[in-house]
Amino acid sequence: MASFNRVILAGNLTRDPQLSYTPSNTAVCEFGMAMNRKWRDREGNQKDEVCFVDLSAYGRTAETINQYMRKGRAILVEGRLRYRQWTNKEGQNRSKLDVFVESFSFIDSGGGGAGGGRPAAKPASGAAEEGPPPEDFGPPPEDPEIPF
């Protein structure tokens, strides 16, 4: 059976990007996005729904997002879903579903001249931006309990 893993999201950053580097000196940028949906229920009342998603970018893509994006800015990203598992400091097994960013576009002007930016260049061979090998990932930063 064939499989397909592609995500395209447009939304606003929920926090400033956080840039760090792996032991092999690969840039890693982690950030969150929110996507809003407005709809009407059967009685005609307007409802709002917000979806929050965690994202990770690597290499030059990570450095560019960190340089130009801030909380509240709009961005369009394309990538794939990734399921991560780790054991926290208390020995509890944890897991998280996030989006591995492969390309992006700035979709607002937000000052600083970054608006309307072109997508990040995709590597010719796919190896340069593919991210570090699995041993470099390590656990995600310690995050509070996810309320659901």
CATH class of 7-124: mainly beta
Residues 6+ apart with CB under 8 A from 55: 30, 31, 32, 33, 77, 79, 98, 99, 100, 101
Which tens digits make up the pLDDT trace of 47-56?
A: 999 999 999 9
* Top-confidence residue, 136 or 21: 21
Pairing of strands 27-40, 18-21: antiparallel
Amino acid 1: pLDDT: 86
User: So what's the pLDDT on residue 99?
Assistant: 97
Report whether 75 contacts 105 (CB < 8 A): yes
Among 98, 86, 8, 12, which residue's Cα sits nearest to residue 54? 98
pLDDT in the model for residue 109: 64
**pLDDT the model gives residue 145:** 52
Give 12 or 134, the one with higher predicted confidence. 12
Domain boundaries, the chain: 7-124
Grouping H, G, I as helix, E, B as strand and the rest as coil, residue 129 is coil
Q: pLDDT tens across 80-115, in order?
A: 999 999 999 999 999 999 999 999 999 976 544 444
